[in-house]
Amino acid sequence: MFALCDCNNFYASAERLFRPALKGLPIVVLSNNDGCVIARSEEAKLAGIRMGDPEFLIRDLLKKLDIHVFSSNYVLYGDLSERVMSNLSRWFPTVVPYSIDECFAWAGGMDNLDNYVVLVRQEIIKNTGIPVSIGIAPTKTLAKMANKIAKKSGGTCVLSTSDDITNAVAQFPVEDLWGVGRQYYQKLAALNIQTVGQLRDLPEGWFKQHMTIQGQRLWNELWGRPMLSLGDPPPKAKGLSVTRSFSGYIEQVDILCEAVTAYASRLAEKLRTEKMCCQFLEVFLLTNKHREDHPQHYPRHTHRLPIASNNTLDIVAAATRVARMLFQYGIKYRKAGVIATALIPEHELQFHLFQRHDPKADKLSEILDHLNMAYGRGTVRIASEGYKKQWRLKHEHLSAGYTTRWEDIIKVS
Amino acid sequence: MIRKVQQRAQQTISGFKSPADDYLEGRLDISDVLVIDPHCTFYFRMDGDTMSGFQIPHGSLLVVDRSLRAIDGAIVIACWQGKLLCRSLNFSPCGAASLQSSNGIDPIAKDANLEVWGVVIAVCYNVMPKGLLKGKYRNVCAL
């Protein structure tokens, strides 16, 4: 049996936990750089705000409907997510987080799951303050479905017998099923298949023919035969990237290089946590495609590093060199990205015949990581990142680090 | 900033090996006795003197645990009319809950909107006279 615990409207719930005055009021959370809506409270959904709505288009509407707007506060969400999953792991010994607000758990060999899961849900909500729903079923696909049913019926749903499952699939709309994308949905709609029950009744051969191996797995999972294991690790990244928009436009090469330095240092840090080195470094720049009156320019270039590397100095030097080469005067850049590709594990590094590898830079990066871990991210950094950081992300509606910074803890009277 | 890395003297001994080497234990850590359940613990700061009669002076750091069920006499973080308050929770013999502050001026009667956010399990504050609040000692239980 698999359990799936999912936080309800997670980002909105997290903001509300520390602002109880917002209980029952509509909330939206914006993406990085305050671009578009990425999370909504139930009330905001009812008010007609859609996922992905760009903030600048709905600004007046948000004001008119008195909707509270937050920038995404990933420091807060990350901490609360960890609390939810740690609490869950006390009740289900093996948990595997699936995303920031969803977590699979192994629920096999337990009696009386129906009552148990109600208790677990109450405890998690009490201990963390984050409302969750839990679905349990014999396969991951069905657990995902049970979770969606739970959201609409008291917060828990256990599908343990084949009758439970048959009843559930008969009513569950096929477009809400995990693993059915828009493409398949259209195919199924053409066949007049609306419920998961109807889908499940198709012969296995149909899945093989129309939905490849994934479809065959899906079919088995719907019949209660697990094809996906709990800990299926996500495929190891083939590439890593740091891509961000600027708060405004960048028209000067030096400022662009500051931003690229910052992105490249972050990328090098990511590579080191993954214990990977990259052989190629791609840098790209973008202008704002929505502004047809601006000259458009979106150059990219891939640079081969002489020796695969993950130290900050090498990565920054290469990335800024490429950025300088790509930059053109008179263009307003909106976004830049640094992408590391052709990753190889640190310990499989091959050295260059004619180029000496300088271990100093690796050591420096190691010290950098130690210091930044102990004293907080960004304590020691490359000076070419600059100090003003005018390009830095916009987050005008950012809430505080209530659980991660002493200076931000809430005052009570 | 709170120092997270403890400076320790180099332990490479050039002369005799320390006889204590085989008996080293981790040094006491105050959070062992203040934070019982880290996944359910949150921190708040007392603002004002409403709870000074309960030995919670202005500026105290409150250790709050959400996993406990509040009972009569518990100091709680309560959510009332959209505000977070630190108060003593009291139940009358008939079971009606009320919030009490030390000066007793504003006992908040139970109403439908009263909600317990968490239970205060410990209170920390700085007891040094002003003359000692210098340098890194400014950080004792401070923002």
Mean pLDDT for chain B?
84
Q: What is the extent of the structural domain holding A14?
A: 9-74
Tell whether the model's pLDDT for residue A285 goes beyond 70.
yes
Residues of B in contact with A23 (CB under 8 A): 82
- Specify the pLDDT at position A354: 66
Range(s) of the domain holding residue B60: 36-139
Distance from CA of B72 to the nearest CA of A (A): 18
Structural domain includes residue B5: no
In a domain, B18, yes or no: no
Q: How many domains does chain B have?
A: 1
Average pLDDT of the residues in B74-88: 92
Quick check: A261 pLDDT over 60?
A: yes
Q: What's the CATH number where A343 sits?
A: 3.30.1490.100
- Residue B14: inside a domain: no
Mean pLDDT of chain A: 90
Q: Taking CA atoms, what residue in B is nearest to A83?
A: B39
Q: Which residue does chain A place closest to B70, by CA atoms?
A: A126
In a domain, A406, yes or no: no
Q: For residue A359, what pLDDT is reported?
A: 78
Q: Which CATH number does the domain housing residue B103 bear? A: 2.10.109.10
In this predicted model, what pLDDT tens digit does every residue of A13-24 receive, in sequence order?
999 999 999 999
Taken in order A234, A39, A158, A97, the sign of the CA dihedral is positive
- What are the contacts of A160-165 at 24+ separation with CB within 8 A? A160/A1, A160/A113, A160/A136, A162/A224, A165/A137, A165/A138, A165/A224
Q: Is the pLDDT of residue B110 over 80?
A: no
Q: What percent of chain B has pLDDT over 90?
A: 50
> Chain B contacts of A409, Cβ < 8 Å?
43-45, 61
Share of chain A above pLDDT 90, in %: 61
pLDDT of residue B36: 94
pLDDT of A91 higher than 90: yes
How far is Cα A328 from Cα A122, in angstroms, rounded to an integer? 58
Overall average pLDDT of the B102-126 stretch: 79
B31 domain-assigned: no
The pLDDT of residue A44 is above 60: yes
Name, of A196-210, A304-318, A351-365, B16-30, the range with top average pLDDT: A304-318
Query: Per the domain annotation, does A153 fall within a domain?
Result: yes
Euclidean distance between CA atoms A348 and B86, whole angstroms:
57
Look at residue B30 and give its three-state secondary structure.
coil
Is residue A84 predicted with pLDDT exceeding 90?
A: yes
Beta-bridge mates of residue B97: B91
Total structural domains in chain A?
3
**Residues 99 through 138 of chain B touching chain A, CB cutoff 8 Å:** 115, 117
Specify the higher pLDDT residue, A351 or A199: A199
Q: Considering the domain boundaries, does residue B43 fall inside one? A: yes
- Say whether residue B43 is in contact with chain A using an 8 A CB cutoff: yes
Contact A83 B44 (CB under 8 A): no
Is the confidence at residue B2, as pLDDT, over 50?
A: no
Q: Cβ of A20 and B42 within 8 Å?
A: no
Q: Is residue A397 part of a domain?
A: no
* Co-location of A68 and A86 in the same domain: no
Two tokens at A205?
A: 């051969």
Within-domain flag for A408: no
B1: chain A residues, CB-CB within 8 Å = 375-376
Is B19 buried (19+), middle (13-18) or exposed (0-12) by CB count in 10 A? exposed
pLDDT tens track for A215-253 = 888 899 999 999 888 876 655 667 889 988 888 889 999
Q: Report in angstroms the alpha-carbon separations of A405 from A79, A370, A408, B113, B114.
A: 11, 19, 5, 29, 28
A395 inside domain: no
Does a structural domain hold residue B96?
A: yes
Same domain for A195 and A248?
A: no
Cβ distance of B45 and A413 shorter than 8 Å? no
Residue A405: inside a domain: no
- State whether A82 and A208 are in the same domain: yes
| A276 in any annotated domain | yes
Between these two residues, A94 and B81, which has the higher pLDDT value?
A94
Which among A366, A369, A367 is positioned nearest to A378, based on CA atoms?
A369
Residue from A410, A412, A413 whose CB has the most chain B CBs within 10 Å, to mutate: A412
Q: Are residues A70 and A85 in the same domain?
A: no
> Is residue B101 situated within a structural domain?
yes
**Chain A residues closer than 8 Å to B85 by CB:** 412-413
Sheet holding A132-137, edge to edge: A95-99, A102-106, A2-7, A132-137, A156-158
- Asked whether residue A255 is domain-assigned, the answer is yes
The tokens of B92 are what? Answer: 């009358």
Together in a domain, A378 and A297: yes
CB contact under 8 A, B42 and A402: yes
Quick check: is B21 in a domain?
Answer: no
> Residue A128: which residues within 8 A CB-CB, separation 6 or more?
A80, A83, A84, A87, B39, B40, B66
Residues A202 and A308 in one domain: no
